[in-house]
Structure 1
Amino acid sequence: MRQPNLTDVALFAAVVEAGGFRVAAQKRGMSASSISDGVRRLESDLGIRLLNRTTRSVVPTEVGARLLERLRPALEQMSAAFGDLHEDAQRPVGTLRLNVPVPVARFVLPKLVPAFLARYPGVSIEVTMDNTFIDVIAAGYDAGVRYEESLAKDMIAVPIGPRRQRFVAAAAPAYLEQNGTPLHPRDLLNHRLIGHRFESGKLGVWEFEKDAARIRVPPQGPLISSSQDLEVGAALGGVGIIYTFEEYLGPLIEQGTLLPVLEDWWQAFDGPYLYYNDRRHVPSPLRAFIDFLKTETWAG
């Protein structure tokens, strides 16, 4: 057995952590073939197979899993030691990669990002909008933003943005003049509703709350879309009633181009959270962003 190259050891760990060569290559800024060559070289030096490769998955062998379990603490310490050569607690450098839902990218981050980048000029941010519930860490992101009901229990969560939000229902004046104004959620069964379908294929069911009562209404109507912009535009055009984040409709209600309906039944919920996995060494851009969020007071 030849002495293994530490770089190849790190590449092997990166493939296992990422669940595949492609994601590992994206995270490390390398080609998948280069990482594959490094892992093969390590297997040759050790004289053992470390990974089982199929067309659909890459998983460690029993020996590979045992080896990685022994190596992980040392690899984390090495990463932290090398990172400390380039990172300063007051002057973090690097790229912060975030995966966030569309409403957060549209209404929350624009109120935070400019001040954060001004405070930390050595940091850049890459933001991907994604409404699906994915393992953002395995996908190569430093952190994600989601709502509490979809957070994994093993994640650390930090509040970001408004702490309370609402869904609001509204329709164009012309629509209500022609079809009447619903006075109870049950009345929606006799109205045209504009529905939202998530990327997962699931149709968003409308939920209304008042006192101890909760009513769910599957939206039935002439339009179901995965685009909030299209849904809002359709509501403005008199297609039907819309029920979505207050941030989308609030300005239009203030202008009078949409009129609120069922205000006593609008559902309120907790605001979003930034989340990341519990690891010993948090990259300096992410640490700076977490510290920044803890000093911010959300004004709405």
Structure 2
Amino acid sequence: MTAPDLADLEALALVAAARSFRGAAARSGLSASSLSDAVRRLEARLGVRLLNRTTRSVAPTEAGLRLLERLRPALAEVRAALDVVNGFRDSPTGTLRLNVPGIVGRLMLPRILPPFQAEHPGITVEVTADDQLIDVLGAGFDAGVRYGEMLEQDMIAVPLGPRVQRYALAAAPSYLERHGSPGHPRDLLGHACLRYRFLSGARPAWEFERAGQVVRVDPSGPLLANSIEMILAGAAAGLGIVFSFEDLVAPLIAEGRLVALLPDWWGEFPGPFLYCHDRRLMPAPLRAFIDHLRGPHGRW
């Protein structure tokens, strides 16, 4: 049996990761038909079905799963080995794929990316803003940005954005006129509170800290949403109390649309980190981005 074509193996990995030929085509820039031809050619050469295809989805067979388990790290090493040449350019080229929380996409990357891309015009940055806790590297991204995650031994973490952040508590003047102001975090249990909920269904408790005392409350209210814009708009309209990133709430406080509440209880927490595999052959676009974050332009 002759060795399969490397491009056909790449096509299999792309389709399996996307769970569809159309999704893989959109991610890779190839046509769905060419990817389908590549997988059929690979299956014919190996003499075994690798993907189960239905009108709605594509999923690896048992043989396909076993092949992909060994194939993905091997393909990553091949791509990284070829990318070594990229490091000898004055400025590397290629694509950098990042998965970041929504707050990082709104507040931090708009400041970081323009100077980085001005320095490296040959690098295309693909950003997916997603608050779900997915396997970022397993989903095909080069790196992820997260808050406070435990990293495995083969991972590296690079600070991104401000090293200290806070959550701010606030409400509109019209709400406070009707309901009064809380004097302690536990008083929030008697107030209308606007809550953020992740797509997974998780609804983080509100945590406050003062002089070493930590208070966690799980208040309720008239609005529960996975859109912080909707929650902020509801708060500004007097619907209830909001508890969110200070950088998002502060402009509304400065405009007088919201009033800060219990500022002595706004606890601090570490800023986010970019994380990726600590591998010997790192893609040149990712290496350039890490160098940028570690240099003077990447300091907050």
Aligned twin of 2:256: 256
Give the direction of change, closer, same or farther, for the CA distance of 1:3–1:253 in structure 2 (3 Å limit). closer
Aligned twin of 2:169: 169
SS at match of 2:108: helix
Segments of 5+ residues of structure 2 without an aligned counterpart are none
Contact 1:143 1:276 survives alignment (8 Å): yes
- Structure-2 separation of matches of 1:28 and 1:4: 20
1:225-278, CA deviations, whole angstroms, 9 ceiling, x for partnerless residues?
222112112222222211100001112223433221111221221111112234
How far 1:28 moved relative to its partner?
3.4
- Structure-2 separation of matches of 1:72 and 1:168: 43
- Structure-1 separation of matches of 2:27 and 2:35: 11
Moved more, 157-166 or 226-235: 226-235
How far 1:71 moved relative to its partner?
9.5
Aligned twin of 1:207: 207
The percentage of counterpart residues that share the same residue type is 46
Give the direction of change, closer, same or farther, for the CA distance of 1:61–1:193 in structure 2 (3 Å limit). same
Contact 2:196 2:228 survives alignment (8 Å): yes
Aligned twin of 1:51: 50
TM-score after normalising by structure 2: 0.84
How far 1:288 moved relative to its partner?
0.9
- Structure-2 separation of matches of 1:71 and 1:111: 33
Contact 1:192 1:240 survives alignment (8 Å): yes
- Structure-2 separation of matches of 1:79 and 1:299: 30
Moved more, 172-181 or 145-154: 145-154
How big is the alpha-carbon RMSD for the aligned residues of Structure 1 and Structure 2? 3.0
How far 1:106 moved relative to its partner?
1.0
Aligned twin of 1:61: 63
TM-score after normalising by structure 1: 0.84
SS at match of 1:90: coil
Moved more, 273-282 or 148-157: 148-157
Matches within 5 A, 1:28-177: 28-47=28-47, 49=48, 51=50, 53=52, 57-59=59-61, 61=63, 65=66, 69=70, 73=74, 75-76=75-76, 78-86=78-86, 88-149=88-149, 154-177=154-177
Q: How many residues align?
A: 296
Give the direction of change, closer, same or farther, for the CA distance of 1:67–1:182 in structure 2 (3 Å limit). closer
Contact 1:50 1:60 survives alignment (8 Å): no
Give the direction of change, closer, same or farther, for the CA distance of 1:27–1:293 in structure 2 (3 Å limit). same
Aligned twin of 1:197: 197
How far 1:116 moved relative to its partner?
0.8
Contact 1:19 1:57 survives alignment (8 Å): no
- The residue type equivalent to 1:161 in the other structure is G
- The residue type equivalent to 2:37 in the other structure is D
1:88-115, CA deviations, whole angstroms, 9 ceiling, x for partnerless residues?
3531112222221111111111111111
- Structure-2 separation of matches of 1:60 and 1:180: 62
- The residue type equivalent to 2:223 in the other structure is L
Segments of 5+ residues of structure 1 without an aligned counterpart are none
Contact 2:112 2:298 survives alignment (8 Å): no
